[in-house]
Amino acid sequence: MPRVNLSQAEKDLIERWKIAARYQTPRLSGLAIEGNDGIRGIRNLAVNFDRPITVICGKNGCGKSTLISLSRLGFQQDHQLDDLFLEINNPHPFNDFSVHWSYLKHDPPQISLDGGTSTYSTPPPAKNVVYIGLSRIAPAWENTALTAHFRQQPVWESQNQLEPRNLERLRDILNKPFTGAGWGKSGAYEMRTCSTHATYTSFNMCTGEEMLVEMIRLLQQAEVESLVLIEDAEIGLNPVVMPRFARHLVEICESKRLQVILSTHSLDLITAFPSELVCLIKSDGAAHQAKDNPEMQEIFTSISSQVESDVIIFCEDDVAESLIRQAVSGDLRRRLKVVYGSKTKLLAYAEAHLKAGWPQIPLIVWDGDVNDNEVKKWLDSLDQMTRDELSAKVSRIKLPGELPPERWMLTQLDTDEGCQLLAEELNEDVPTTKAFLGMLSTMTAFHSLSYELAERTGLDEKAVLRSLTRSIGRLSTDPLAPLREQIGKAVNKEIIQVV
């Protein structure tokens, strides 16, 4: 479930939120929707926002984006109802509904909006609102006007850098040695920049870099006591970095006295925050309900969709998934549903799966560097009944080797055969590929392996990861054979527990 034990920073954030004298501007404490027609299918729903950070979660279509948009309308700004709830050939798509906002430090403490007339009971309070939408991850090269501009004028008119502390945050979250990051402007256009061993722009950034630089920039520029609204906060982020991202967001929120409302589908991001900050939106298609402090089982059931797959594998990231899918046959591959989670959360995910009563065969696959003592510690943190159920119903295995999977792959490919196979997959010559492998073997930030190789080959990270795992799968030594055998036994309902 979302964490019960709070860090000191989280305790300070929550306690200081309660001190009204710290805040000079109104804060949003709640939002309610009423009406026969409702808005976007929501007829009656009340949500509590009386917290410094609200993590809104729930399945697709439950109303997360609607709540983000309505939160924007609770304060004075350029956007109006018809701007955010536009419908083609229907200037008033929603009529019979009303919205009620509740505030801290505002008179009156509640104002309403009549959906039929788009009028407020009284003008909403003034406050700076920062909206961080999905445009932050749109690839620069897909914007033809932007691309054309920088082809004709590849120079900056102005440049800005992240503050030193925020650059440290970027380095910590992505575990990369950034020497600089910021944004530049040219004419009406703007792009992000990053520097490691070289400086590069949005045209060559990975999604995680692009998203984080933009988000940290907007948080840096946000006025003190702003309301910050973040759509799908997990987009572009590897599950491994979620706890670090959440920790830094808490610190920024506290230092600038921000109120943050974010939406997410990510179990890893949800569990990175304490339960006090989580709100689950439930919908059965007819009615909506907001639940504070939800249990993990309830979140898992609400967010994870039922699929035709009859095997569900809980592993740590896309590298693990790629190796797993490479190891098994096509028939079995098509039966798999894969869920990512940090290594400390995989048992909780399997437990939630069992409690939900879903029919898929559950299997945990940890990275090779997870040891028996770690697993024992995680099991010991559970009650005896849960341990017994997991031991009886859930297979627990590891990826090959005793190393992080990225490093293990390098050891397997560090042969003449491995280098030849990888060269074929990358469409490179053997000497160049051997140089790539030599460079990668010296890296300390092994999670950046796919990124670094993508930078040097001109391929995207997913293509590079596929090339690496396909090369492993083609080795005459068949290093994935033990994994293939263990998964095969597990899907035939034999309980395999190598850890």
Number of separate domains in the chain: 4
Domain-embedded: residue 69? yes
**Burial tier of 392 (Cβ tally within 10 Å: 0-12, 13-18, 19+):** exposed
In the listed set 294, 317, 341, which residue is the last one of a domain according to the structure?
A: 294
Residues 462, 453: Cα–Cα separation, whole Å: 11
**Burial tier of 204 (Cβ tally within 10 Å: 0-12, 13-18, 19+):** middle
Q: Are residues 36 and 80 in the same domain?
A: yes
Residue that is written with structure tokens 């309900």 in the block: 289
- The sign of the torsion formed by the CA atoms of 238, 239, 244, 250 equals positive
Domain-embedded: residue 245? yes
**Burial tier of 4 (Cβ tally within 10 Å: 0-12, 13-18, 19+):** exposed
Q: Are residues 335 and 394 in the same domain?
A: yes
In the listed set 189, 205, 220, which residue is the last one of a domain according to the structure?
A: 220
Q: Are residues 198 and 182 in the same domain?
A: yes
Domain-embedded: residue 226? yes
Q: Are residues 415 and 395 in the same domain?
A: no
pTM of the model as a whole: 0.71
Q: From first to last of the 499 residues of the chain, give the pLDDT tens digit.
A: 455 568 899 999 999 999 999 999 999 999 999 988 788 888 899 999 999 999 999 988 899 999 999 999 999 877 677 666 666 555 555 667 899 999 999 999 999 999 888 899 999 999 999 999 988 878 888 889 999 999 998 889 999 999 999 999 999 999 899 999 999 999 999 999 999 988 999 999 888 899 999 999 999 999 999 999 999 999 988 888 889 999 999 999 999 999 999 999 888 899 889 989 999 999 877 789 999 998 876 787 777 654 457 899 999 999 999 999 999 988 788 889 899 988 999 999 999 989 888 888 999 999 999 999 999 999 999 999 999 999 999 999 999 999 999 999 999 999 999 999 999 999 999 999 999 999 998 887 777 888 889 989 999 888 999 999 999 999 999 999 999 999 999 988 889 998 8
Q: Are residues 252 and 337 in the same domain?
A: no
Q: Are 324 and 336 in contact (CB under 8 A)?
A: yes
Q: Are residues 422 and 469 in the same domain?
A: yes
Q: Are residues 229 and 327 in the same domain?
A: no
Torsion, Cα of 5, 9, 11, 17 (10° steps): -140
Q: Which domain holds residue 174?
A: 139-220
Q: Are residues 380 and 411 in the same domain?
A: no
Domain-embedded: residue 498? no
Q: Which of 345, 354, 166 is nearest to 270 (CA)?
A: 345
Q: Are residues 266 and 335 in the same domain?
A: no
Residue 303 identity: I
In the listed set 177, 205, 220, which residue is the last one of a domain according to the structure?
A: 220
Domain-embedded: residue 149? yes
Domain-embedded: residue 254? yes
3 state SS for 158-222: EEEECCHHHHHHHHHHHCCCCCEEEEEEECCEEEEEEECCCEEEHHHCCHHHHHHHHHHHHHHHC
State the DSSP code for 116.
T
Domain-embedded: residue 3? no
Q: Are residues 275 and 285 in the same domain?
A: yes
Instruction: Give me 180's structure tokens.
Output: 């600089």
- What is the DSSP secondary-structure string of 318-346? HHHHHHHHHHS-HHHHTTEEEEE--TTTH
Q: Are residues 358 and 256 in the same domain?
A: no
Q: Are residues 116 and 247 in the same domain?
A: yes
CATH of the domain at 23: 3.40.50.300
Q: Helix crossing, 242-256 with 164-174: angle to 10°?
A: 160
Domain-embedded: residue 116? yes
Angle at CA 211, nearest 5°, toward 28 and 220?
Answer: 55
- The sign of the torsion formed by the CA atoms of 201, 203, 205, 208 equals positive
CATH of the domain at 485: 3.40.50
Q: Which of 429, 430, 451 is nearest to 440 (CA)?
A: 451
Residues 489, 473: Cα–Cα separation, whole Å: 19
Q: Are 110 and 102 in contact (CB under 8 A)?
A: yes
